[in-house]
Amino acid sequence: MGIKFIILVLLLISNNIDGRPISYSGGSTLMMFSDNMKDSIYYHYSPTYKYSVGIEQVKDKYFKESSSYLRLTYLADRKNTQNSQRNLYLQTGLSTNGADDYFYGAHGDWETRRWFVGFGLKKVKKEIVDYSQQYLQMGVAPYLGEYGDLHTWLMIKTKKNSLNNDWSTYPVIKFFKGVSLIEFGYNNKTEWDVNYIYRF
What does the DSSP assignment read for 2-62?
HHHHHHHHHHHH-----S----STTEEEEEEEE-SSEEEEEEEEEEETTEEEEEEEEEETT
CB of 96 to other proteins, least distance (A): 29
179 binds other proteins (CB under 8 A): yes
Should residue 43 be labelled a site residue for other proteins when binding is judged by CB under 8 A? no
143 within 8 A of 151, measured Cβ to Cβ:
no
For position 143 contacting other proteins by CB under 8 A, the verdict is yes
What's the min distance (Å) between Cβ of 44 and other proteins? Answer: 14
Select 63 or 176, whichever has its Cβ closest to other proteins.
176
Choose between 78 and 127: whose C-beta lies nearer to other proteins: 78
Shortest Å distance, C-beta 93 to other proteins: 22
The footprint of other proteins on this chain (CB under 8 A) covers a number of residues equal to 42
| Residue 78 lies near other proteins (rule: CB under 8 A) | yes
178 Rama sector, left if φ>0, alpha if ψ -120 to 50, beta otherwise: left
Task: Characterize 58-91 residue by residue with b for buried, 16 or more Cβ atoms within 10 angstroms of its Cβ, and e for exposed.
Answer: bbbeebeeebebebbbebeeeeeeeeeeebbbbb
The contact set with other proteins (CB under 8 A) reads: 20, 22-25, 27, 48-49, 75, 78, 80-85, 111-115, 138, 140-144, 146-148, 151, 154, 156, 169-171, 176-179, 181, 199
